[in-house]
Amino acid sequence: MTLKDQTIVVTGGSKGLGLGLVEALVDEGARVTVVARDKDALASVKQRLGVAVAPADITDQGAAQRILAEVRPDILVLNAGATPPMGRLDQLSWTDFTLPWETDVKAGLYWIQAALNLPLAPGARVLVGSSGAAENGSPLSGGYAGAKRMLWLMAKYANGVAKQKGLGIRFQAIVPQQIIGGTGVGDNASSVYAEAAGLDREAFLARFGAPLPPRKFGDHLVAVLDDPQYATGVAFGLKGDTGITVLEGEAA
């Protein structure tokens, strides 16, 4: 499949990983709508890349329904999420611990439900942003790992619903398998983990091997969308050293 002239909505596409993806999609000739809260950041990306923008809080259920109904995307990428408060399990408040659930998971639920209930057109794809923390945990980021695992599971559940309803929509989890510098979540997490390990941040990030900067992340997602070998898998790992790995194949 070619992404030229495909209509794509990207949440959290005004900075970090989402911006790297938007840049890659624009280079492929896609028609992109970026959803984010920061109006200044949206204005900047609109001016620089010529994309459409939709200011909204990703946890606003009505906004999810309205934007998908108005844009009717061929592809929806759920990338936005909160930067989790960092701390040991014995130190975090319940509010801090659950922030990724109140933001990432709540938003994931609302946007996935909107895609299923509108519904998006047959053949549409929904990429759901997860994390390598979903595989191995993240002991200094509270409920973040569990939230990201839940999003992976929700993609799998949504495929079951889509199949039951005969919608022809495919949901796929995207799992970056390393902390990525140059992003809010990555810089925050790597600083805390580096301090705990007695390292500087650059040395800690080097432990993951080759870096995976936002634009390279975007290029990998373009490959997931464009290459037929990735058309039916449920979850894909992304890493600087190994590129794209199928973590979970097509659901039964």
pLDDT in tens, 119-156: 999 999 999 999 999 999 999 999 999 999 999 999 99
User: Number of helices and strands (H, E) in the chain?
Assistant: 10, 8
Q: What is the pTM of this model?
A: 0.96
Residue 250: count other Cβ atoms within 10 Å of its Cβ: 11
- Segment 179-198 shows an average pLDDT of 91
Is the distance from CB of 200 to CB of 5 less than 8 angstroms? no
- Segment 92-117 shows an average pLDDT of 98
Rounded CA separation 14/21 (Å): 10
Is the per-residue pLDDT at 223 higher than 90? yes
The token pair at 37 is 């809260």
In the chain, the domains with their CATH numbers are: 7-248 (3.40.50.720)
Query: For position 149, what pLDDT does the model report?
Result: 98
What is the per-residue pLDDT across 17-73, written as a single tens digit (0 to 9) for each? 999 999 999 999 999 999 999 999 999 999 999 999 999 999 999 999 999 999 999
- Say which residue the tokens 């900067």 belong to: 213
Query: For position 158, what pLDDT does the model report?
Result: 98
